[in-house]
């Protein structure tokens, strides 16, 4: 870790993280299946952990709270695209908009968080380029976690879900 956080900064981030981790609204993401061996809830918290880890490696001063909240809510679209062909068609490019609408409805998110959610699917959602370092960190962390989930074989699916569930219980 290149950047070290003060105890106060660390506690602030942890408070935000746990407030989402233990939120019944966020719990609904557990019912949304993701790439192999994961669900939207586990996926989003893994992205959040990785994004914060990568942000702390940067020398540049970054908005960690925005990175954290945007990562947790980046896939807050709350529908199963596998269950309906019409949803599947434009899922890749449309779900960031739906996630932002849902997040605005359920949480008090900033415009900066909204813009990071919007750009997390670049280049699939070509119109929304991740312009800031924060946006690129969220976008890249999402791609990396999705890639790792995709590589997971079905045989080890149950084991991996358990492991991932325990991995997200703490932010640091
Ligand atoms: Fe996404
Ligand atoms: Fe994602």
Looking at the domain assignment, is residue 67 inside a domain? yes
Looking at the domain assignment, is residue 8 inside a domain? no
Looking at the domain assignment, is residue 11 inside a domain? no
**CA 139 to ligand 2 centroid distance, Å:** 8
**CA 59 to ligand 2 centroid distance, Å:** 26
Using DSSP's 3-state secondary structure scheme, residue 39 falls into strand
**CA 51 to ligand 2 centroid distance, Å:** 12
The residue range of the domain holding 122 is 23-79+86-167
Per-residue pLDDT band at 38 (split at 50, 70, 90):
confident
Looking at the domain assignment, is residue 162 inside a domain? yes
Question: What domain count does the chain have?
Answer: 1
What pLDDT does 158 receive? 63
Find, among 28, 40, 38, 27, the residue nearest to 157 by Cα: 38
**CA 88 to ligand 2 centroid distance, Å:** 15
**CA 41 to ligand 2 centroid distance, Å:** 10
Q: Write out pLDDT tens, residues 6-22.
A: 999 999 999 999 999 99
Q: How far is CA 3 from CA 55, 67, 167, in A?
A: 9, 15, 22
Share of residues in the chain with pLDDT > 70 (%): 91
**Encoded tokens for 85:** 């062909």
CATH number, domain with residue 141: 1.10.3210
Looking at the domain assignment, is residue 10 inside a domain? no
Looking at the domain assignment, is residue 56 inside a domain? yes
**CA 144 to ligand 2 centroid distance, Å:** 9
Looking at the domain assignment, is residue 31 inside a domain? yes
Q: Write out pLDDT tens, residues 87-135.
A: 777 888 899 999 999 999 999 999 999 999 999 999 988 889 999 999 9
Report the alpha-carbon distance of residue 89 to residue 140 in Å, rounded: 23
State pTM to two decimals.
0.92
Looking at the domain assignment, is residue 30 inside a domain? yes
Task: Look at 76 and 146; give whichever has higher pLDDT.
Answer: 76
Which neighbouring-strand residues pair with 56? none
**CA 43 to ligand 1 centroid distance, Å:** 10
**CA 32 to ligand 2 centroid distance, Å:** 12
């Amino acid at each position: 870790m290149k950047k070290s956080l003060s105890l106060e900064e660390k506690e602030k981030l942890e408070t935000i993280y746990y407030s989402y981790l233990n939120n019944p609204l966020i719990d609904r993401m557990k019912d949304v299946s993701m790439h192999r061996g994961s669900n939207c809830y586990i996926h989003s918290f893994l992205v959040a952990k990785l994004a914060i880890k990568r942000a702390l490696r940067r020398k540049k001063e970054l908005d960690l709270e925005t990175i954290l909240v945007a990562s947790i809510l980046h896939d807050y679209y709350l529908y199963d695209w596998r269950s309906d062909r019409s949803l599947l068609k434009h899922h890749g490019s449309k779900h960031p908009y739906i996630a932002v609408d849902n997040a605005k409805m359920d949480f008090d998110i900033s415009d900066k968080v909204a813009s990071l959610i919007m750009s997390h699917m670049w280049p699939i959602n070509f119109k929304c380029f991740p312009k800031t370092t924060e946006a690129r960190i969220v976008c890249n962390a999402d791609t990396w976690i999705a890639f790792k989930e995709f590589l997971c074989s079905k045989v080890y699916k149950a084991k991996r879900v358990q492991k991932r569930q325990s991995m997200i219980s703490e932010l640091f």
